[in-house]
Amino acid sequence: MQSRLSIARLLIVQTGSTHLHGDYPRWFERALGFEMPLIRAHAGERLGSALDRVRPQGIIVTGSPLSVIEKASWMLELGDDLLRVGARGTPVLGVCFGHQLLARAAGADVVQNPRGREIGTVRVQLTEAGRKDVLFAWARGPEIEVQATHVDAVDPLPAGATVLASNENTAAQAYRLSETVAGVQFHPELWAAAMRDLILSRR
């Protein structure tokens, strides 16, 4: 019963496409164990109509092979719309590209990381705020292992944002903008075997 309720109340905002182990929404569905409604924002689908249809209790913004640095008009509009939805009380979580999209909409800079691409299973350290944050309630200690692949990074964070996690490659591995809006640079939905296949596909 819980899964059925969750299916109806979570919305995936897809921001790009991939074909490894299924598309980005499939990664989240595999991780969470159920299918979710989605909009393909990168293909021109609008957030507003989906909100009316789904009335979500939470929104997940996916990763993408695209770059927030491009500042495409749909990216700018989507980021602003998502912050407004969060301000009205709906939780919004940005993942990788989504993390960068939300941060930039809130006033952050997104740059090509001078430390280079981060890819593979990486270690991330939780800050004191991160250890107390509900986003990391599952963590057993101050350091976690996660799957990551990105070349862009948020630097610096917008005023008022709280860093939840960081490592030597990326200072803002996770942040919270407000009670309802947060982002993670890594991919909590990815599993180690999929990351290995991704690395091999890029050789």
Burial of 28 (0-12, 13-18, 19+ CB in 10 A): buried
Looking at residue 202, its pLDDT comes to: 65
Catalytic member of 42, 99, 150, 187? 187
Query: Is pLDDT above 70 for 5?
Result: no
Residue 76 pLDDT more than 50?
Answer: yes
Superfamily of domain 2-201: Class I glutamine amidotransferase (GATase) domain (3.40.50.880)
Sketch the domain layout of the chain as residue ranges: 2-201
The CA–CA distances, whole Å, from 99 to 34, 67, 177, 200 equal: 23, 12, 11, 25
Task: Of 13-27, 46-60, 119-133, give the lowest mean pLDDT range.
Answer: 13-27
In order of 98, 99, 100, 200, the CA distances from 14 in angstroms are 9, 13, 14, 24
- Evaluate if residue 44 carries a pLDDT over 90: yes
As a whole number of angstroms, the distance between CA 68 and CA 74 comes to: 11
Catalytic status, residue 29: no
Q: How confident is the prediction for the chain on average, in pLDDT?
A: 93
- Strands 92-95 and 181-184 turn out to be parallel
99 as an active site residue: the answer is: no
Write down the catalytic residue from 29, 42, 96, 150: 96
**Quick check: is 168 catalytic?**
no
Residues 5-22, mean pLDDT to the nearest whole number: 80
**Quick one: tokens of 74?**
């749909």
Alpha carbon 129 to its chain's center: 19
The per-residue pLDDT for range 140-170, each reduced to its tens digit, is 999 999 999 999 999 999 999 999 999 999 9
